């Protein structure tokens, strides 16, 4: 009788699979969960329409930061050019805001796995 040969699983394959899984969980981008309390966008306070974030960074005209409260349910943030209502123009004390929300609009919720599209900073 011949001895039974045992096959060993390749550690390279296992490490590759684990790395790919980790990348897929952490690289979710927009439309994912964030750890911040609010989503921060730029809004024209006169027309109530969303503006590109650069308009607020450059402090031009009636542009100002606008915040949407995030909860465990997904919140749709409007795209640039759409009406931006139902939020607040003041970030409550002690709260954090996710920045960099897609200008195409995004579905964002608080908590869980995934990327944030955020710099993790407080709004100002």
- In a 3-state reduction of DSSP, which class is residue 76? strand
- What is the rounded CA–CA span in Å between residue 73 and residue 5? 54
- What is the rounded CA–CA span in Å between residue 92 and residue 37? 10
pLDDT tens string 40-93: 999 999 999 999 999 998 876 889 999 999 987 788 999 999 999 999 999 999
- What is the rounded CA–CA span in Å between residue 4 and residue 6? 6
- On whether the CB atoms of residues 71 and 101 are closer than 8 A, the answer is no
- What is the rounded CA–CA span in Å between residue 30 and residue 39? 11
Is it the case that residue 120 has pLDDT exceeding 80? no
What's the DSSP call for residue 103?
Answer: T
pLDDT tens string 4-38: 666 555 544 444 443 443 333 333 344 557 889 99
């Amino acid at each position: 009788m011949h001895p039974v040969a045992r096959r060993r699983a390749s550690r390279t394959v296992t490490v590759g699979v684990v790395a790919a899984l980790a990348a897929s969980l952490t690289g979710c981008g927009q439309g994912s969960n964030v750890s911040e309390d609010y989503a921060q966008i730029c809004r024209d306070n006169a027309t109530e329409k969303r503006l590109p974030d650069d308009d607020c960074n450059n402090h031009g005209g009636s542009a100002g930061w606008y915040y949407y409260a995030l909860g465990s349910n997904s919140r749709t943030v409007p795209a640039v050019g759409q009406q931006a209502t139902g939020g607040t123009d003041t970030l409550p004390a002690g709260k954090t805001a996710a920045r960099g929300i897609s200008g195409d609009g995004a579905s964002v919720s608080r908590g869980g796995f995934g990327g944030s599209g955020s710099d993790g900073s407080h709004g100002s």
